[in-house]
Amino acid sequence: MPALKTKKDMLISAGIVLAFVLLVVISFITYTRTSQFMASSRWVDHTYTVLSQINLLLSELKDAETSQRGFLLTNDEKFLEPYNKAVSNLPNSIQRLKSLTKDNFDQQDDIALFEELANRKLLFLEQAINMQRQHAWKGNEDILQTLQGGKMTMDELRLHIQTMTLREERLLDQRAESEKAHAVSTQRWILFGNLGAILLILTSFLLLRQQIKQRIVAQRRAEKTALQLEITNKELESFSYSVSHDLRSPLRAIDGYSRMFEEDYGDKVDEEGRRLLGVVRANSKKMRMLIDDLLDFARTGRQAMDRQEVDMNQLVDEVWAEVLVAEHPNPTLQFYKHSLQPVWGDPVLLKQLLSNLLSNAVKYSSTREQPKVEISSREKDREIIYQIQDNGVGFDMRYYKKLFGVFQRLHTAEEFPGTGVGLAIVQRIILRHNGRVWAESEIEVGSTFSFSLPVKEV
């Protein structure tokens, strides 16, 4: 099941990534194609401009010719106004056409020829006008020849204009076809790209929805299992608590009767009998201690929490005076307590926690000539961290995973007495306070046990 989930997760991620990449590619292609389409449109507009300019040149020449004929018929100078205007505008109009077609070498050659013909036409027009001013036109053979020459030149110009127009129209057809092809291509890229992206996103969505449904079902199963485990744990704790509680009376009776037997009949049994009696009493005492620790362990998980602000300085002083000094009297023991920050928690459980940690620190440093225990605190990342350091025998960090387990011990009972439940109680208390506990140690150097508790949210 976990492997299937991982595969689906990969498919969903791959689908979303591919859809994103596809959208980016489509955007790039759309941008490129649109730029090309705009460029083609600009070329089409440019061709229309060139055609318009060619027609303008022809129109100006026609105006000049019509103006000249009017003057020849009437000998009135006012008919020459369009001619003078055309003569003035024609060079600029030709120059503009050259500029518009500078990318087209064939058209540049045509314009050069057109300019030559236009100048020749204007020369014929000017000659006829000058002759008209000097002589009457009727019967003047020179004027008739000039008019015929001008007509032939105008015919050549019209033919040449047709050639130039035809060349531009072919360009117009090519550019319009290119523009149409770019438009169709862009539409296809956008259509198929968007369809692909929609398909990928839809597939990812369906897989994601299926994944969410499976996770909801798995979460409900986990919640149901956790509830069953919680009920089972409570039942086991109740059972352990009852059994441990019920075992205390017979053990107390065994120890009491053994003590009375030793006092009343100790002189009537031999040395081996007294040794065996001592073994019975020692084991009953050990069993009683173990049961007491198990009861404490069960009690820490059963009792209700009474959270309040706890003065850790005062609590540590109480623990040190009432528990540790009484249980581990050692005049060479040095204890350093820095100013401790208050915390929000259950004072009874925190006292049990401090008692276990400080007791361990004293116990495992008791073999040193100058045993030392130090406790301090600091605040970091919305947590208050407490540290208890000792210069004791330490432990091997390779077995760290066993440190907070029930009945797990990293030293033998002959080296240091204990039941292996104290640190399990510490961990349970910390977990009930939503905190963390951890340790660092080096053999024959010492250990540092740290625990953190969350800062109270105001």
pLDDT digits (tens, 9 = 90+) for 382-407: 899 999 999 988 888 888 888 887 77
Can you give the pLDDT at residue 316?
A: 92
pLDDT, tens digit only, all 458 positions of the chain: 444 456 767 777 777 777 778 778 877 877 887 787 788 788 888 888 988 988 888 888 888 888 888 887 777 788 888 888 888 888 888 898 888 888 888 888 888 888 888 888 888 888 888 887 777 655 566 666 777 777 788 778 788 888 888 888 888 888 888 778 877 877 787 788 778 778 877 887 888 888 888 888 989 999 888 888 877 777 777 776 677 677 777 878 888 888 888 888 878 878 888 888 888 888 888 777 777 777 777 777 667 788 889 999 999 998 888 766 666 677 788 889 999 999 999 998 999 899 889 988 888 888 888 889 999 999 988 899 999 999 988 888 888 888 887 777 777 777 777 777 888 889 989 988 889 999 999 988 899 999 999 887 55
Q: What is the pLDDT of residues 256-283, one digit of tens each?
A: 888 888 888 878 878 888 888 888 888 8
Q: In this predicted structure, what is the pLDDT of residue 390?
A: 92
The two three-digit tokens of residue 209, written as one number:
């929805």
| pLDDT score, position 448 | 93
Q: Could you write out the three-class secondary structure of 398-420? A: HHHHHCCCCCCCCCCCCCCCCCC
pLDDT of residue 42: 85
CA-closest candidate to residue 184, choices 25, 37, 44: 37
Separation between Cα atoms, residue 383 and residue 435, nearest integer Å: 8
* 48 to 115, 176, 193, 247: CA distances (angstroms): 21, 11, 35, 110
Amino acid at 131: M
Q: Which residues of 112-136 are buried (b: 16+ CB within 10 A; e: fewer)?
A: eebbebbebbbebbbbbbebbeeee
According to the model, what pLDDT value does residue 418 have? 74
Residue 136: what pLDDT? Answer: 62
Q: What pLDDT shows up at residue 2?
A: 45
- What pTM was computed for the model? 0.49
Counts for the chain of helices (H) and strands (E), in that order: 9, 7
Comparing CA positions, the residue from 52, 53, 87, 95 lying closest to residue 67 is 87
pLDDT of res. 1: 42
Residue 377 has what pLDDT?
A: 93
Binning the chain into helix, strand and coil, the percentages to the nearest 5 are 75, 10, 15
Please provide the size of the chain in residues.
458
Cβ proximity of 91 and 151 under 8 Å: no
